[in-house]
Chain A
Amino acid sequence: MVRDVIIIGAGISGAAIARELSRYRLKVLLLEKEAEPAFGVSKSNSGIIHAGTQNPPSSLKGWLCVEGNRLLREELAADLGLHFVQCGQLIVVFDLADLPELDKIKAEGEALGVKGLEIVDRAWLDAREPNLGPEVKAALYVPSAGIISPYRFVYALVENAVRNGVRLETSSRVTAVRRRPEGFEVVAGGQVFRSRFVVNAAGLYADEVSAMAGAPTFKITPRKGEEYLLDKKREHIANHIIFPLPSKTSKGILIIKTSDGNPMIGPTAHETPDKEDLATTDAGLAEVLAGARRMMPSLDRSDIIAYFAGLRPASGKDFIIRHEDAVPGLVNVAGIQSPGLTSAPAIAVMVAGLLKERGLPLTPKEEFHRLRPRPVHLFQVPLEETARLIEKDPSYGDIVCRCELVSAQEVRDAIRRGARTLDGVKFRTRAQSGRCHGGFCTTRIIKLMQEELGLPVTAVSKRGPGSELIKDERK
């Protein structure tokens, strides 16, 4: 079979492109090297839906961010049942002499079309963000910024794309891309797939995939970020996403409200040559704590319940989204660092346009299933609603994860929607993400996975082959 488009990479960019292309009468294949979508760069995303500020006005990512923010707020959040919270953002200064910097960010944001920007003083902040430390003097208030669960955003897009006919192949690392006169041959996971077009959204490996296809035109330099999650009990420590003034290479150490309730502090920003370097470090923790405490001194190390590191797939300053003329039919979507999550819906529309320009007909399907039912999360609903759910299905009352209030039914639902690993269940349901870190619920989740998937216990893994949890069963 020759497909119309093969998309390489089921992170946020690939997922959004797949969902966008699924509107049209096309045969689309989405390839992912990991066991599940969102397991690469996207899983470590901060979950911030940026407004568009802190980008140069002439940049590609500046307008993609503003447009992506609009598409998410006005269409996708409702269509895909996403829990998007428009909490707003503050960019704080520690010295009133830095106010001109805030004015500049405000002017640049307004030039991109960001609305509602306002410089606010200490009295405004005291009323709305009482835990800020005495060093904070003023801030830029950015009302259209918000928060979302990055992985559940990816899962929603992929689920809806698959519902609309996109084929997903996981555990399929691309090992060769050949341009033939009649189209592409892509070798992945030991199989050969053919297509007219290839969209390369391979994240950290986008440079290698592009080079395989015959376009060694850029290099990805990973920039590592460590993030530290706080206990849900500290949910109300901040009411906005709080940024310091940005530096040349990063937006700084932030205090990030998250859509699931656990505040997060971070990320660091350090270049690393290693695309697999996901280690957190003592130095990273110290840097994050110092940065966050300068804005909010009451943050305590004992509030930290979890941490992780991620790699930004950086290539220069801006996104690379282009057709490679040397390899007709190859579209690169690379260097998608911040604000990639926000920009994804707009990137997807742009990529569809690039493909159309190169001769891919975009004929709308007669029946496009725009809506995706929102999964149930007990932690998001009031108790009365929980009671109604339990009446319909008793196993919503069977609590598996006590810290985050996740029922057996939610775990089963996650598996039926595609979770194949312990991390996949965690990212979809929050079971194991709380303060006990899976100490109480892991064995129960393993057993539910065995029941649903018919696996021996030694085949249940944390995040795919090689990460099996149990080595042997007692005789």
Chain B
Amino acid sequence: MIHVQELTKRYGDKLALDHVSFDVQQGEVLGLLGLNGAGKTTTMNILTGYISATSGRAIVDGHDVAREPIEAKRVIGYLPEQLAFYTDMRVREYLDFVCDLKGVKKGRQEHVAEICERVGIAHMTSRLIRNLSRGYRQRLGFAQALVGNPKVLILDEPTAGLDPSQVIEIRSLIQELGKTRTVIFSSHVLSEVQAVCTRVVVLHNGRLLADDTPENLGRALRSTHRMVARIQGEPAQVRAALAPYEGLTIEVLGQKEPTAYDYVIEGAEGEDIRADVFRALARADLPLLSTYGNETSLEDIFLHLVAAQRYSA
């Protein structure tokens, strides 16, 4: 459905994209992951025909964006990162204008009504856009992207700046839309990408670092040999209970609750210590209150991938 080949973009001296290639199949939800300035927005701007690539090709639904821009743009719905509206228009008027732009003629009323219902702005259609809150503007941006039932949705940081409940709403909307459409969306929040995407492309400094499923990316990084645990029991008791397991180092982080301490327990690299620790503590009747510390962050992924790349080079 989308074919990106050796895409390169230069802004003056700065190389914003450096020979990036990836494919997106029909019905896939692809997450573009990267820190600020990684090249996510540049990639999307090229895909949507807003700017031109210095070299390389972007093909959407069989149409080269540079050669057949109108045909390519017809299948794309785009939600830009910095939403800009004609603020002196009403919601209804604005969507009408977008229908005009995208050439939606038949059944326009129903189409717009359905979209408004779906993104939750049905009760706002007679409001002036300048009076809408950030969350509603974001929804209007979504509505605008959905006009004309495009086969491809390109969403640039759709959840940035929204409150947590709105983020959840938007995520489930993306998941629902992803069932029938091809979606590319960018984010710098790893958990979001893991929750929504079927595949992840990681960009860093304009280069493609990884192209994989979120599970694989996560697995490569999940540290199972190390855990931070809150255990109800004195350090001496805990050490005694874990003594049968060789190679475990135990560090006490301090007393966090009247009877509980936090510990860092670490085994040999590559070994999964979690089940053993649980059983040992259970046998000694030392309740394991909580564990944490083995979630990976986006930063970890980058550090890991950058390190891996250096190692292989």
Do these two chains really belong together in a complex?
Answer: no
A residues near B, CB below 8 A?
none
B residues near A, CB below 8 A?
none
